[in-house]
Chains A and B, each alone.
Chain A
Amino acid sequence: MTDTNDYIKYIAGLAKLSLDDEEMQSLAEDMQDIIGLMDTIKDLDTESIGATEHISRVTNNMREDRAGNPFDTEKILSNSKHAMENCFSIPKMIE
């Protein structure tokens, strides 16, 4: 269980979820059961089967590269409480 907990902690880090210890523990318990279900396909022999990433029946369905109307900057910025001078502000990146 501790190994699994550590691994889930590592996965949460990759997924950028800062979980506290209590939530981490409880989610790790859920994940044990869920991964158990996923394990049921692990040993199936699918060696000769190709992978289908996307079921779409179209490929390279590109629209024409034509200039359109851009979104209004103000409208885009209005969904952030942290906009200033036409930019989004964030905490300092260089630590």
Chain B
Amino acid sequence: MEITRLTIKEARTLLDSKKISAVELTDIYMNRIKTLDGKVDSYLSVCEETALLQAAEAQKKIDGGNGGMLCGIPLSIKDNICIEGTKTTCASKMLEDFIPPYTATAVNKLHSQNAVILGKVNLDEFAMGGSTENSAFKKTKNPFDLTRVPGGSSGGSAASVSASLALGSLGSDTGGSVRQPSAFCGVVGMKPTYGLVSRYGLVAFASSLDQIGPIGKTVEDCAILLDGICGQDPRDGTSLNYKPEVPYAASVAGGIKNYSIGLPREYITEGLNSEVRAALYKSIETLEKLGAKVEEFSMPSLKHAVPAYYLMSSAEASSNLSRYDGVKYGYRAENSRSYNEMIGRSRAEGFGREVKRRILLGTYALASGYYDAYYKKALKLRTLISQGFDEAFAKYDVVLHPTTPETAFKLGQNTDDPLSMYLADIYTVSANIAGLPSISLPCGYDSNGLPIGLSFTGKPLGEREIFRAAAAFEADFAPGFRVPVLTGG
């Protein structure tokens, strides 16, 4: 068994055929975390004791012949997804000591399928950022190059899967936070259709955009994880009454012969790095070789997606984060002389710089006199972008695009340049704006050996189409798939 290339699907076979026990598998990952995570810094907390108990329980199920697809599979969870009794910090000083009194529905579903939760992984504070450098606690490194960022905000999730410190992970994606780090770390990450996975227990950033999404080594692993966490939840009024007739994992095969694929012309911009561009066009050749028809189309509204996204998400964030007032939970500034002073100081001392920027931008966009010019205009652009996609999907099965304009950048390179960070979200935010499913998978490596991501975006509830397209591409790309080399001790 080559652990760095092990997939959930293969682990399932090993567990079911008793070639390895669930406890042995969990032990392997725990030992890797102990020896290697000091280099990657992906975990904020490790749940060794409960993980081993969960593994023992999973083994009983396997022995009884009652183990499902995720039974005994060791996973990591982004630290903005609540697990009762386990610290959930959102990588913020504000929630440094917060222990949730309840568990997120997505994690409850994993529990009920006897998955093993190894621990909670790092993120940009409150999921705001694209490098995981905005964490209040540690900087996660890219397993392909430890001097570079893993992307973000689910950087801990993507790095833990890439470095084989977990077999899979749950992240959250508000504007690309699952897909961008997956691209940077050379793994597969997907954002489901808005409402397919319950947001109950996911700490709110921008409620109309947030979705929990899976990260794995393969497209099929992501489909297996999505099967495990999707479904309507009475605790989330926006969750959809939809369950696929056939599990997603069973529909990844089938190929893409006669698939019609659209590439938005507006995405081929000057900002697109030449090596990423070359990988995109090479990928198009592969897709055509596999029988798909790829053509460019125009969707002018995409040019405005980044400002529209930042206005909407920051406006929602400024409202959602108003709950952090130091009263019931979270950081409270000491020695305040009045209630108002306590709130103002708790928020100023508890939030990091990027979170403050977003709160200020959101408050600005919603302020009297600016609401129509900014926030309402962004909502109108949301209509235009959604309509643009509706028109595209009348013609195409899936939309193809790069995941990021560049590969992973150096730690500290963009820390003082929030604008560059925002503009780099150009290819991912529109799927959140329109509530669409989107998947990123590796399609090549640049001259520094850094992974390049390719994305397929689908129509609402079009998970099957994007999984199928991604799996077909992946099968062709598989011989060239690389894993990072990490040596421990």
Residues on A close to B: CB < 8 A?
8, 11-12, 14-20, 23, 27, 30-31, 33-35, 37-38, 40-42, 44, 46, 49-58, 61-64, 71-72, 75-76, 78-82, 88, 90-93, 95
Does any Cβ of A come within 8 Å of B19's Cβ?
A: no
Q: How far is the CA of A53 from the CA of B376 in the complex (A)?
A: 9
Q: Are B435 and A16 in contact (CB under 8 A)?
A: no
Q: How far is the CA of A91 from the CA of B386 in the complex (A)?
A: 47
Q: How far is the CA of A52 from the CA of B387 in the complex (A)?
A: 11
Number of B residues whose C-beta is below 8 Å from A? 72
| Chain A to chain B contacts (Cβ below 8 Å), 25 pairs | A11-B364, A16-B343, A17-B351, A18-B347, A19-B348, A27-B357, A30-B418, A31-B357, A37-B307, A37-B423, A40-B304, A40-B307, A44-B381, A46-B377, A52-B383, A53-B379, A55-B382, A55-B386, A56-B195, A57-B435, A58-B195, A58-B238, A63-B235, A81-B332, A88-B327
B86 to chain A, nearest CB (A): 13
Q: How far is the CA of A35 from the CA of B336 in the complex (A)?
A: 33
> Which of A20, A27, A72, A81 meets B360, CB within 8 Å?
A27
Q: Give the contacts of B339-378 with A (CB-CB under 8 A).
A: 339-345, 347-348, 351, 353, 356-357, 359-361, 363-365, 367, 373-374, 376-378
Q: Are A38 and B361 in contact (CB under 8 A)?
A: yes
Query: Which has the most chain B C-beta neighbours within 10 Å: A38, A62, A82?
Result: A38
Interfacial chain B residues near A37, Cβ < 8 Å = 306-307, 310, 419, 422-423
Nearest residue in A to B387 (C-beta to C-beta)? A49
Q: Are A18 and B208 in contact (CB under 8 A)?
A: no
Known contacts A11-B367, A92-B339; is-contact A55 B360 (Cβ 8 Å): no
Q: Are A27 and B338 in contact (CB under 8 A)?
A: no
Q: Are B383 and A50 in contact (CB under 8 A)?
A: yes
Q: How far is the CA of A23 from the CA of B341 in the complex (A)?
A: 17
Nearest residue in A to B353 (C-beta to C-beta)? A27
Beyond contacts A17-B351, A62-B237: 9 other A-B pairs, Cβ-Cβ < 8 A, are: A16-B347, A18-B345, A19-B348, A34-B418, A41-B307, A42-B377, A52-B386, A61-B238, A61-B241
Q: How far is the CA of A64 from the CA of B273 in the complex (A)?
A: 52
